Amino acid sequence: MQIPGLELGLAVDLAQASDGHWIGSITVPGFGVKGSPLADIVVNGSDVAFVVKGVFGDPKLSGHLAADRSLTGDFAQAGNTAPFTLRQQGPAQVEPPRAGTPVQKELEGEWRGEFDLIGNTMHARLKLTNQPTGTVAQFALGLKEVNDLPVSFVTQEGDWLTVEAHAYGAAYEGRFHAGTNEIEGVFEQAGLEFPLVLHKAAPGAAK
């Protein structure tokens, strides 16, 4: 993809699921995006369009498949566009989305904690809410100001909670201790692990 002053590499995987609907993911190594799921995939003959959810402000890619199996089109985000060209390299490698689980009532709400990152204190905030469509999670990290990571998967098995932000290769796994009302676990990203204990925030606590 050609953006002003930079040629950016990307890989897109597209496939049809067993029920006929399209699924896909995108990887952009230059921005640390790996396997971010695609949404709103529309295939009409040789034309295809899809949205990248949770990164870059949810951009849309629209392209046309040529006879040489190349896909050429435009990347559109916040009123800006950039041309892209994709060439078929092999079969799609798309993992079907996993089904998450609700979390127990005691885990609903906002949790906060800190961990050390090379001498810097990283602040973490996790908010869990059960909805009819599944558990909604907000996971944010930062030094002074926390930034949201797009959560792709949440599940609870027994006392163990798993939260994944697949697009950024990040995950948190911890064990809920009802007696102390805390989640003791590990935050992992890019192969690095950091102990992280989360404590339930009091209602109305400052952000």
Is residue 79 located within the same domain as residue 128?
no
Q: Is 49's pLDDT higher than 90? A: yes
- With respect to residue 169, please indicate whether it lies within any of the assigned structural domains: yes
Enclosing domain of residue 56: 2-87
- The pLDDT value recorded for residue 27 is 86
Is residue 111 located within the same domain as residue 157?
yes
Distances (CA, A) of 10 to 16, 33, 205: 20, 9, 41
pTM of the model: 0.63
Is residue 115 located within the same domain as residue 196?
yes
- The pLDDT value recorded for residue 113 is 96
Of residues 27 and 71, more confidently modeled? 71
Is residue 196 located within the same domain as residue 111?
yes
Is residue 129 located within the same domain as residue 181?
yes
- For the chain, how are helix, strand and coil distributed in percent, rounded to 5? 5, 60, 35
pLDDT in tens, 30-44: 776 777 788 899 999
Is residue 133 located within the same domain as residue 181?
yes
- The CATH number that applies at residue 180 is 2.40.128.20
Secondary structure, 3-state, 136-188: EEEEEEECCCCEEECCCEEEEECCEEEEEEHHHCEEEEEEEECCCCEEEEEEE
Cβ-based burial of 81 (10 A; exposed 0-12, middle 13-18, buried ≥19): middle
- With respect to residue 125, please indicate whether it lies within any of the assigned structural domains: yes
Is residue 176 located within the same domain as residue 141?
yes
User: In total, how many domains does the chain have?
Assistant: 2
- With respect to residue 115, please indicate whether it lies within any of the assigned structural domains: yes
Q: Above pLDDT 90, what percent of the chain?
A: 54
First CA to last CA distance, the chain = 38
- With respect to residue 126, please indicate whether it lies within any of the assigned structural domains: yes
129 has which bridge partners?
136
pLDDT in tens, 119-166: 889 999 999 999 887 788 999 998 877 788 888 889 999 999 999 887
- With respect to residue 206, please indicate whether it lies within any of the assigned structural domains: no
Of residues 162, 120, 105, the one with CA closest to residue 139: 162
